[in-house]
Structure 1
Amino acid sequence: MHTKDWQQGWWQAARRVDSPNFAPRAADEKISLVVLHNISLPPFEYGNGAVEALFTNRIDAAAHPFFSILTELRVSSHFLITRKGGAVQFVSCDHMAYHAGISSFRGREKCNAFSIGIELEGCDFEPFTDAQYQCLSKLLKAIAAAYPVEAVSGHQHIAPGRKSDPGHFFDWARVYGCGMEVAVGGS
């Protein structure tokens, strides 16, 4: 992908922070899904750099008791949208980020292989900000224009019973009209 908005899978509107936690996509793999998540580290705390530290393998176990269970994780997402509406990109969309884990979409297992992951800074228990929805809309439209994505879904929909994000406070109506189907039914 090489356009004005994209350079080798990197969205030019996002701040780039490279994560080592990715793998090449299969050469013939079609990116057909966007998966929405939420994240706060520690839970219910925002804007402290901990998510970036987690996705770049720099989480400090001594910084908070919760972090001790995260130090061995090697996870990432393609994007993080902060509470203030800023976008950070960790992995090129041309590569596979480690965001979905055990998952299935429409009968197809291992969603990491064919999806783009977007983390929203937040949790299951409070609403997301208007700035986040504005950034998410812009990002989804840019993805839809650049990649053959068919649907956007939640982590809760591709890993039911295992994951609950982006959660019941996420306003799915705000992502309609972004150039892809909103798939919030069963996997």
Structure 2
Amino acid sequence: MTIDDHWLAEARRVPSPNANARPDGEISAVVLHGISLPPGEFGGEAIERLFTNTLDPAAHPAFEPIAALRVSAHLLIRRDGEIVQFVPFDRRAWHAGRSRWCDAGRWREGLNDFTIGIELEGTDETPYREAQYRALAGVIRTLYQHYPDIDGDRLTGHAHIAPLRKTDPGGAFDWAYLQRCLTSRG
């Protein structure tokens, strides 16, 4: 995989307005998320519509309370491994919300400022697919190469940085398998 002007060349681009400048330009960690819209359903346009502020609140009962949210992620990895990019990596996507993380012995807040947010289409309870792990591993290896401040110790889940608010990517996400994928080139 390659990155050109902070866009992943292999990703389909769907620009989101829900981004702004990083305050210090720092890109030094990755946060993994899980998402499905409607909850528990996969496929369709709802995630892209949420991240582009075009989600119809009347299209599903679950959409009404979230349609006005202004959120985004840098990437979405769909169930079949397709990668969609919403925000260039040098911009701050609005994915982590209120967040806190112990970074090299000091607590940092506001992780949107320095992280890349990757959403995986899934739920806390539904196993993620092989195609997603392979795509994710390829993305992470590429990010490690392109942004040298990101390394294996700087990869975390939304649940780890906002534990009282979030549970994703959930118990169904296999962190050990992701590590095996990262070390394998197959």
Does the alignment reach a TM-score above 0.5?
yes
SS state at 2:58 partner:
helix
Residue equivalent to 1:10: 7
Cα separation, 2, equivalents of 1:96 and 1:67: 24
For 1:30-45, list aligned pairs within 5 A. 30-45=26-41
Residue equivalent to 2:58: 62
Q: Is 1:143–2:143 an aligned residue pair?
A: yes
Q: Is 1:162–2:159 an aligned residue pair?
A: no
The percent of aligned pairs where both chains have the same amino acid is: 50
Q: TM-score, normalised by structure 2?
A: 0.91
Per-residue Cα deviation, 1:75-105 (whole angstroms, up to 9, x for no partner): 0000000000100000000000000000011
Cα separation, 1, equivalents of 2:100 and 2:28: 13
For 1:24-35, list aligned pairs within 5 A. 24-26=21-23, 28-35=24-31
Cα separation, 2, equivalents of 1:127 and 1:157: 19
Letter in 2 for 1:112: N
Structure 2 stretches lacking a partner, 5+ long: none
Aligned-residue offset at 1:175: 2.5
Per-residue Cα deviation, 1:121-180 (whole angstroms, up to 9, x for no partner): 00011100001001000000011110121311000000111100000110001222648x
SS state at 2:131 partner:
helix
Cα separation, 1, equivalents of 2:66 and 2:179: 34
Cα separation, 1, equivalents of 2:165 and 2:40: 20
Residue from 170, 175, 180 that aligns with 1:172? 175
Cα separation, 1, equivalents of 2:114 and 2:100: 11
Residue equivalent to 1:49: 45
Q: Are the equivalent residues in 1 in contact too, given 2:25–2:90 (CA < 8 A)?
A: no
CA RMSD of aligned residues (A): 1.3
Cα separation, 2, equivalents of 1:29 and 1:15: 24
Q: Is 1:104–2:105 an aligned residue pair?
A: no
Cα separation, 2, equivalents of 1:128 and 1:89: 19
Cα separation, 1, equivalents of 2:172 and 2:67: 29
SS state at 1:69 partner:
coil
Structure 1 stretches lacking a partner, 5+ long: 180-187
Q: TM-score, normalised by structure 1?
A: 0.90
Residue equivalent to 2:17: 20
